Structures are given as structure tokens and as C-alpha cells.
């Protein structure tokens, strides 16, 4: 990168508007775009020229966000979509077919566990869950029908940091792409492509937008995977009937996955991001580094204070020296361990519920990565659909509360937790 991260988070993808000179990226609230002539229209529909056709596929405001995310993650291109869950389907869709499977970390956001363990079965896809720290288990899970490995960089909610270098090496050896959900870390803290990931997905709803206003997702492609080498990825390497037999990898090279995501994924799955949502997310990303620094600084202070509190059994923040993942912070996410962690209370489930109910500043919501501090009891909410074993593996046991630390004054957050813990243990 020729420019620093803080410059790119403000500028990447967004030149002044060519029509008006508008300095801020305009919200292009339009469904369709006029063709110059019939030949222009035909070339666009055949993917022979790049341009705007219809906002289910491409939109100028969304395109700025796509280029910004591709740039910040160090990828070749990006496709935005309507939510983080949509991004996961958009990432898997070009790789999978009925009978195929994906090897998935057990340490995932509960909604992802459900999406992978239940919903994708209806496409004829299967997920094989493994401990992502166990190389032998990953190797044993990979078979001829495996098409990808999937993990979170900093897992929600447990704060587990995946050894992306090790996992991507396993993926490389098996000739498979590694997909990393980088939602909790953001590209300011961790850039998975630098550690060998092929695809990065985000729920942009969280730290990227940062203000709790809109949902959005994105898939970033590194452009480095050879989709034609193994014959396992025919959607990208073989002729596409809907485009006159065009082969995406042969035609677009490192941009194949991105063009496929627009031309087939968004065209036919339709999980499009709207330009208003792209606008709010672009506004958020302009201040990403500043917010993440404050999130990390606050999280470290609050987690450290909680750890020494008598009502607390343990805290799972990788930024604490007590964390088994502490040593990975400097290698995987050198700018900090993020703003998300869990706290386990000695008095169990009832104390957790009381803590959540007694907090005044923290908001009890099913979200994370807001400027506001947020709290939720995962076992009874976000991870409710999981079995006790799945909850335990995901770091969402019944005695655990998930905390997403905001950018408020850390002393105020500590004071609020202090009064609520007193009530919880009374």
C-alpha cells in the first residue's frame, strides 16, 4: 500500500463526483441507468464492458464502498450485500454445489452456527465443525467434497483469535480457499489476506458502520486463488451458460470472483445493499481507525478491571495477559484485540440476567460494534438456538455475558458495571 490506512479509509474508492464535483460521495438513489445505445447495452449485458445497468447489480454509491473495503483489506475487489449473513452465502455460493461441504470453526457467532449447521443443508451443502486450533482435526475433516475452510479472525463472543497463518497453510496444502469473517476485528486491527486468506467477509453493520444505523455485508476477494487448478470450482472455471459460455476465471483473472459475485450472485440471489445503507457505512469507515483505537483502549481497561472483581469468574479478552490467545495479538491483530469480550460470573445464569438488567449506560441489544457500549446474555439470546455443547464451544456458556465496549469514557463504563455487579451479587 502506497498510502497509510488512515488515508485510505477516507479516500479509497471516492473521487469527487464526475458529474457535479460533489466532494462527499452522493447517494445515487436510482434503480436504473440509461444506455448510450443498443450496442452499449448489449456489451454491458454480456459483461464485455463495465458499467451501471440496474441497482440490483451495481450502484455508484455502493461501488465506492466496495472499492474502499477491497482497498482496506488489501483485496482485488469486493461485492457488497444486504447483511453479514448474506455475505456468507455470497462467499460460499460460487464454491459450493449439492454434496459439497465447508470445514467450519466451532467458535462462531451463534447465528452463523445456525446458518451453517441448519439452513445451508437445504442447498445440499454441509458444514463440518472443527476446533480451528486443532490442525489434525482440520486435516481429518477435509475430504474430496470440501470446498472451503471458514473461521472468524477474532471470534464472537469468546475473543478467541484464530491462527490465520497456520489455517491458511492447511488450506493451501489442500488446495482450498480460506474464508475469514473479519467482523469483530475490522481491517484496521487485522487484514486476513496478509495472513493467506482467500476471501474475507464482514457484517458491516458492526464496527465498520459503527453507529448502529444500517445492516450490510461484504465479500472481499484476494484475487490470489487459482480457481482453475483443481477442477473443483466449475462456477468460476467452466463456461457459464447464462453468459454465452463465458469462463469467469479465464476472462477476468484475479477479478473473477468479484465479477461472478455481481453478475451471478447479486443478479440471481438478489441480496443487494441499498445506496442509503452504503452511505451510512461510508460515513462510519471514515473514522474507523479512531474508533477502533478507543474501543481497544476502553476494552483493555474495562476487561482488566472486571478480571479483578470478586464477583467475576473470568474474562475472555485476548488483550489481557491471562488470555491463552494473548500471544497471537501481536502477530494477527497488532493494533489491538478489539472491543468485544465475555465475562463469566461466579453466581451463574441468574447473576448474569441481573447484571444485564441493572446496567444503566450499557444497552441490552443483539448487536455489537456500536459507539455505545452494549451488553447481552448470549446463552439466552444470540446463541439460544445452540445446544449446551455448541454454546460452550462458542464461548457462550450460561454464566457468560457478552460485552461490546463503546467509545464512551472508560471510568463511566467501569462505574456502571460496578453498581450493576453489586446488585447482581446481592
Given the rule CB under 8 A, which residues bind another protein?
2-3, 7-8, 11-13, 15-16, 18, 21, 23, 43, 46, 48-52, 58, 60, 62-64, 66-67, 70-71, 75-80, 243-246, 250-253, 255, 258-259, 262
By beta-carbon proximity to another protein, the closer residue of 71 and 203 is: 71
Identity of the residue, 243 or 362, whose beta carbon is nearer to another protein in the bound complex: 243
CB of 75 to another protein, least distance (A): 6
User: How remote is the C-alpha of 162 from its chain's centroid?
Assistant: 14
CB of 253 to another protein, least distance (A): 4
99 and 289 Cβ atoms separated by less than 8 Å: no
Q: Where are the alpha helices (DSSP H) in 286-371?
A: 288-307, 326-332, 348-358
In whole angstroms, the minimum distance from the beta carbon of 212 to another protein comes to 25
Q: How far is the CB of 52 from another protein (least distance, A)?
A: 6
| Gap between the Cα atoms of 156 and 338, Å rounded | 11
State which residue, 49 or 165, has the beta carbon closest to another protein: 49
Between 44 and 142, name the residue whose CB sits nearer to another protein: 44
CB of 194 to another protein, least distance (A): 14
Residue 190 to residue 194: CA distance in whole angstroms: 9
Nearest-approach distance from CB 230 to another protein, in angstroms: 16
Least Cβ distance, residue 70 to another protein (angstroms): 4
Give whichever of 212 and 265 is closer to another protein, judged by the CB atom.
265
Q: Which is nearer to another protein, 247 or 372 (CB)?
A: 247
Q: CA 333 to CA 313: how far, in whole Å?
A: 26
Helix (H) or strand (E) holding 343: strand 340-345
Distance CA 107, CA 151 (A): 8
Nearest to another protein of 181, 221 (CB atom):
221
16 vs 175 by CB, closer to another protein? 16
Question: Do the Cβ atoms of 210 and 201 come closer than 8 Å?
Answer: no
Closest approach, Cβ 80 to another protein, in A, equals 7
Q: How far is the CB of 125 from another protein (least distance, A)?
A: 25
**Cβ(326)–Cβ(364) below 8 Å:** no
Q: What is the per-residue burial (b if ≥16 Cβ within 10 Å, else e) of 341-364?
A: bbbbbeeeeebbebbbebbebbbe
- Exposure string over 242-274, b if 16+ CB within 10 A, otherwise e: ebeebbbbeebebbbbbbbbbbbbbbebebbbb
Based on CB atoms, which residue is closest to another protein, 75 or 192?
Answer: 75
Element (H, E) at 203: strand 199-203
Distance CA 362, CA 252 (A): 48
How far is the C-alpha of 180 from the C-alpha of 148, rounded, in Å? 10
Amino acid at each position: 500500500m502506497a498510502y497509510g490506512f488512515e488515508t485510505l479509509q477516507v479516500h479509497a474508492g471516492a473521487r469527487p463526483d464526475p458529474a457535479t464535483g460533489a466532494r462527499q460521495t452522493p447517494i445515487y438513489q436510482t434503480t436504473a441507468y440509461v444506455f448510450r445505445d443498443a450496442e452499449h447495452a448489449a456489451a454491458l449485458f454480456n459483461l464485455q464492458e463495465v458499467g451501471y445497468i440496474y441497482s440490483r447489480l451495481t450502484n455508484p454509491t455502493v461501488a465506492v464502498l466496495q472499492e474502499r473495503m477491497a482497498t482496506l483489506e488489501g483485496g482485488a475487489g469486493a461485492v457488497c450485500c444486504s447483511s453479514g449473513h448474506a455475505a456468507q452465502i455470497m462467499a460460499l455460493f460460487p464454491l459450493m454445489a449439492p454434496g459439497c461441504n465447508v470445514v467450519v470453526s466451532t467458535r462462531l457467532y451463534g447465528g452463523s452456527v445456525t446458518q451453517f449447521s441448519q439452513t445451508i443443508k437445504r442447498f445440499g451443502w454441509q458444514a463440518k465443525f472443527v476446533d480451528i486450533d486443532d490442525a489434525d482435526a482440520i486435516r481429518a475433516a477435509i475430504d474430496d467434497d470440501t470446498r472451503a475452510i471458514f473461521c472468524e479472525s477474532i471470534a464472537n463472543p469468546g475473543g478467541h483469535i484464530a491462527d490465520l497463518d497456520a489455517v491458511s497453510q492447511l488450506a493451501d496444502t489442500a488446495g482450498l480457499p480460506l474464508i475469514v469473517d473479519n467482523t469483530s476485528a475490522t481491517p484496521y486491527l487485522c487484514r486476513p489476506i496478509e495472513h493467506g486468506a482467500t476471501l474475507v467477509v464482514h457484517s458491516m453493520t458492526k464496527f465498520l458502520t459503527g453507529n448502529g444505523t444500517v445492516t450490510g455485508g461484504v465479500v472481499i476477494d484476494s484475487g490470489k486463488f487459482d480457481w482453475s487448478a483443481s477442477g473443483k470450482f466449475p462456477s468460476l472455471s467452466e463456461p457459464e451458460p447464462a453468459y454465452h459460455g463465458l469462463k469467469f476465471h479465464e476472462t477476468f483473472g484475479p477479478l473473477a470472483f468479484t465479477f461472478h459475485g455481481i453478475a451471478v450472485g447479486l443478479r440471481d440471489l438478489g441480496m443487494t445493499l441499498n445506496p442509503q445503507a452504503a452511505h451510512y457505512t461510508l460515513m462510519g469507515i471514515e473514522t474507523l481507525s479512531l474508533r477502533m483505537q478507543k474501543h481497544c483502549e476502553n476494552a483493555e481497561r474495562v476487561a482488566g478491571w472486571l478480571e479483578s472483581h470478586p464477583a467475576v469468574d473470568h474474562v475472555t479478552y485476548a488483550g489481557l495477559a491471562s488470555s491463552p490467545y494473548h500471544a497471537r495479538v501481536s502477530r494477527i491483530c497488532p493494533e489491538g484485540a478489539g472491543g468485544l469480550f465475555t465475562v463469566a460470573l461466579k453466581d451463574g445464569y441468574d447473576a448474569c440476567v441481573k447484571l444485564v438488567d441493572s446496567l444503566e449506560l450499557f444497552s441490552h441489544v443483539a448487536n455489537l460494534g456500536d459507539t455505545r457500549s452494549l451488553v447481552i446474555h448470549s446463552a439466552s439470546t444470540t446463541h439460544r438456538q445452540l445446544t449446551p455443547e455448541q454454546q460452550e464451544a462458542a464461548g457462550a456458556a450460561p454464566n457468560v455475558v457478552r460485552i461490546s465496549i463503546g467509545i464512551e469514557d472508560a471510568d463511566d463504563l467501569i462505574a456502571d458495571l460496578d453498581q450493576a455487579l453489586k446488585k447482581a451479587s446481592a
